[in-house]
């Protein structure tokens, strides 16, 4: 690789190849004792040395043009010629994405979030870094204003910290304010959190830039950052409403902590309501402009909560915790996974499952019993089951 200093020095010509050849009739007036490093004519006055000097200057110009030599470029021009080309930049960007271990999850994949696949416009694929849960997990979206007050930050840490300690996955958008507080409170409690981005998940595309380290902490703590946009995609204003539908779509409920009446947080709440998901709000001071959004949702039928226990009761996590204990003691087998793939949220009969899985009714019934103990399926009567 050429060093920058090599472009900043004056070239010296030591080869006879570059010695000037006089035209016919011209006389060489060069001193034979002159060093080869001083072949170029002096620049102290254009015609100071008379006609002989003029002839030398003309001959030197002809020699430079003949041998293909050009005047040195300016420093800025030399530096610009050293910049990588477009193809080089693309190659470097691709290699950086490879080292960041970015993975792609298609919406047909069994690990694709179940609730997200049920919304009316699910993403075709998700780009993610970090870990996806192998088993169904309870997810809650926690969103709010970017200009969080002291009250909002305190409430976020209080509620989210306790929810994280109950093995609830917290989903948010990595934005300033409540989003960042929710991620941080989860990490402080040793919980799992997922950040959904409006741009790419590669390091240069993470926004806001101030939260790149927070994103790395989420990945290192068995969490995940994800986006429907490929690496290298910058966040655009129209990306955020689409991003908000993913946050609300992959969660059982959405918790609103501080928001103005017209804000991205209210778009997330609307997306949750459109998918028949519960929306919870934390009441705030009536004098605060950041209470306008939650109080408006409260008038529209949102559920007010004042402590983490309120949220746990809404989720009915007593049975969920029992199911989690069973999963730890009795892990899911390959036969259970295969049978679960044939069960949707539409009721399906045991006989039909036996026919599809090519198994006996007795074995299918035994597997359904285990899946029901793990709260993965629900018996809806008449020998029919649905996915929980």
Quick: pLDDT tens for 318-339.
Answer: 555 555 655 555 677 888 888 8
Q: What is the rounded CA–CA span in Å between residue 305 and residue 313?
A: 11
Per DSSP, helices labelled H in the chain are 50-66, 75-82, 86-99, 114-117, 150-165, 178-188, 212-220, 239-249, 264-274, 292-299, 308-315, 317-329, 334-340, 350-357, 361-373
Say if pTM beats, i.e. exceeds, 0.75: no
Low-confidence ranges of the chain (pLDDT < 70): 1-100, 317-330
User: What pLDDT score was predicted for residue 211?
Assistant: 96
Tokens of 371: 């899946």
Cis peptide upstream of residue 208 (ω within 30 degrees of 0): yes
User: What pLDDT score was predicted for residue 238?
Assistant: 93
In the chain, the largest separation of any two C-alpha atoms, in whole Å, equals: 116
Note the pLDDT tens digit of each residue in 117-133: 999 999 999 999 999 88
CA-wise closest residue to 128 among 67, 71, 194, 189: 194
User: What pLDDT score was predicted for residue 236?
Assistant: 93
- All domains in the chain, ordered by first residue: 4-75 (no CATH), 99-314 (3.40.50.450), 318-387 (1.10.10.10)
CA-wise closest residue to 247 among 333, 179, 339: 179
CA-wise closest residue to 229 among 271, 201, 193: 201
CA-wise closest residue to 134 among 107, 116, 113: 113
User: What pLDDT score was predicted for residue 329?
Assistant: 54
DSSP state of 64: H
User: What pLDDT score was predicted for residue 372?
Assistant: 85
Q: What is the rounded CA–CA span in Å between residue 169 and residue 184?
A: 13
User: What pLDDT score was predicted for residue 110?
Assistant: 85
DSSP state of 174: -
Q: What is the rounded CA–CA span in Å between residue 355 and residue 162?
A: 45
């Amino acid at each position: 690789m050429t060093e920058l200093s090599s472009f900043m020095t004056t070239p010296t010509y030591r080869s006879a190849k570059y010695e000037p050849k006089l035209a016919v009739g011209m006389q060489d007036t060069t001193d034979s004792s002159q060093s080869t490093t001083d072949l170029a004519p002096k620049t102290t006055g254009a015609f100071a040395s008379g006609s002989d000097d003029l002839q030398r200057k003309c001959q030197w110009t002809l020699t430079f043009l003949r041998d293909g030599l050009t005047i040195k470029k300016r420093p800025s021009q030399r530096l610009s010629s050293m910049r990588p080309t477009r193809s080089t930049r693309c190659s470097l960007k691709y290699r950086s994405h490879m080292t960041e271990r970015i993975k792609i999850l298609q919406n047909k994949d069994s690990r694709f979030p179940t609730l997200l696949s049920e919304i009316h416009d699910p993403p075709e694929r998700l780009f993610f870094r970090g870990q996806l849960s192998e088993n169904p997990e309870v997810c809650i979206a926690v969103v709010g204003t970017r200009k969080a007050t002291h009250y909002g930050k305190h409430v976020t840490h209080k509620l989210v910290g306790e929810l994280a300690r109950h093995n609830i996955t917290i989903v948010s958008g990595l934005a300033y304010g409540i989003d960042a507080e929710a991620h941080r409170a989860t990490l402080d409690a040793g919980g799992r959190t997922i950040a959904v981005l409006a741009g790419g998940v590669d390091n240069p595309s993470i926004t806001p830039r101030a939260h790149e380290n927070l994103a790395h902490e989420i990945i290192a703590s068995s969490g995940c950052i994800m986006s429907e946009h490929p690496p290298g995609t910058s966040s655009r204003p129209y990306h955020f409403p689409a991003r908000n539908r993913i946050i609300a779509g992959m969660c059982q409920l959405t918790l609103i902590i501080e928001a103005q009446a017209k804000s991205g947080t209210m778009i997330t709440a609307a997306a949750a309501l459109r998918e028949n998901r519960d929306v919870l709000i934390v009441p705030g001071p009536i004098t605060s402009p950041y209470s306008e959004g939650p109080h408006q949702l409260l008038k529209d039928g949102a559920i007010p909560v004042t402590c983490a226990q309120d949220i746990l009761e809404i989720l009915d996590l007593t049975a969920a915790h029992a199911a989690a204990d069973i999963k730890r003691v009795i892990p899911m087998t390959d036969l259970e996974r295969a049978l679960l793939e044939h069960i949707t949220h539409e009721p399906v009969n045991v006989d039909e499952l036996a026919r599809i899985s090519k198994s006996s009714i007795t074995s299918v019934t035994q597997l359904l019993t285990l899946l029901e103990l793990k709260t993965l399926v629900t018996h809806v009567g008449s020998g029919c089951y649905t996915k929980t």
